Amino acid sequence: MSAIKPSTPPARLRRGETFEGEIETLAYGGRGIARPGGYVVFVSGGLPGDRVLAEVTKSKRGYAEAVALELLAPSPDRLPNVDEHQGEACPGASWQGLAYEKQLAFKEAHVADALTRIGKLGDVNIDPIIGADEQWRYRNKVEYSFGEQDGELVLGFRPQGRWDEVLDIEDCHLSSEATNQARNEVLAWARAEGLNAYDPHDHRGILRNLIVREGRRTGQIQTRLVTSRGDFPRPPVDLHTIIDGPSGSTSGPTGALGEETLRERIFDLDIELSHDSFFQTNTEMAEKLYGLAAEYADLTGTEKLFDLYCGVGTIGLSMARQAGQVWGLEIVPDAIENAKRNAKANGITNARFVAANARTGMRPLIEEAGRPDVVTIDPPRAGLSAKIVRRLIECEARRIVYISCNPTTLAPNAAQLVEAGYRLTRVRPVDMFPQTPHIECVAQFDLIGEVKYVESPSDRKRRERDERRQAAKEAGQ
């Protein structure tokens, strides 16, 4: 009997090669998956059922990454674009060709896949996704980039993968008419003054970015202009940030020319926001997200609540009247000052806020306040480091409510918590960002019995080193 020959692996595509293929499904992050000759390629710019011409931008042994150059045959399910700029789909609305119910189905599936495949958590109770009532005009913050086209100043968005280009826009359907009007007024001023855009190639020019924030419930518009240093008339904006050097960061010195803070209302709270304070970019869905977190926390009026990564205090303050005491922890000092003023303005006396990072601030907080009954945590997209998860476990809270904007980082954090003795009781996705692949979710963890402290890799190495030294010492006696 002849031996069975191993199957031949699919031919690997190299960087710069082009291919034609059909998008089969969507991976987390929104890229399409094609399999030319059986070789897996993640394609930016395609939706399921599309047949595209794509160019490979990165090649690995087991997969490649590519960008769609041309839509050869659209999927029969593809919807016409609502939001286009200069003939291209808005870079911030990459899923607008998908029917909204399909967007929700993919997002729900991506959360389940991350928890089971990355977190290896088995059968997880995932409640149905909460969809958005408004699928357009929902953003309360938009960042525009300045550029030039044929010698004329433009203000818009950078296309995906083309960092040195700017698509000029007149009306982005993700933002409100008031936000678009503010953008148009600043552009008209800049053109009238003959100002030029900063060039990322030769690092010359003045105008870099315009950030527009809107109080959706108050109607307030706040504008911040980001420029290189130079001489030009006072801009018609609220805030002006000057960047020295080639960095594109917006963390330079900021001077107030108008309103220094933005006012917003969420639930029954009046909220103050400084320019660098985090706030969810969809106010209406933020209420649903935080309302779900409060439901999962299930406070009875006596609990001690730690609100980690608290920002301007919105989550903790929204739960303060159902808690005994709230302690908020946040690394941004301006946000902590906002949180303190927000507590005072809303007549909340049982909330305290501390400026510290989560890694070094939790132990001192436990020493000062004692261990919490419930912890709410809303980290950035990178999730929690293993060390911060261990600090979280040291709180020994009976319940942890984790608000995540990235299920692929929630998953390993969830696995650590489960290993430490917590049960992942339930998870529910919330669609904060229609027309995009981004997804938020709220996860509830309940402590079962006693906390099981998990030894960190560094602690294990230190213990093993000490044990070897002790064994050598005893052998020499």
- Per the DSSP assignment, residues forming a β-bridge with 73 are 51
Q: How many CB atoms lie within 10 A of CB 137?
A: 14
Within 316-380, strands assigned E span: 325-330, 351-355, 374-377
Could you tell me which of 24, 28, 29, 52 has the C-alpha nearest to residue 40?
Answer: 24
Q: Among residues 90, 310, 405, 441, which one is catalytic?
A: 405
> For the chain, what is the radius of gyration of the CA atoms?
25
Query: Residue 429 has which token pair?
Result: 């996705």
Q: Is 172 part of the annotated catalytic residue set?
A: no
> What sign results for the dihedral spanned by CA atoms 198, 202, 204, 205?
negative
d(CA 196, CA 297): 51
Query: Which DSSP letter does residue 430 get?
Result: E
Question: Closest Cα partner for 293 from 312, 310, 274?
Answer: 310
d(CA 196, CA 231): 12
- Using alpha carbons only, give the angle 248, 249, 250 rounded to the nearest 5 degrees: 120
DSSP for 185-236 reads HHHHHHHHTT--B-BTTTTB-SEEEEEEEE-TTT--EEEEEEEES---PPPS
Q: Which helix (H) or strand (E) holds 52?
A: strand 51-59
Please report which helix (H) or strand (E) contains residue 243, including its range: strand 239-243
Measure CA 147 to chain center: 26
User: What is the amino acid identity at position 329?
Assistant: L
* Contact indicator for 193, 231 with CB cutoff of 8 Å: no
389 strand-pairing partners: none
CA end-to-end span of the chain: 65
Q: Which residues are catalytic?
A: 405
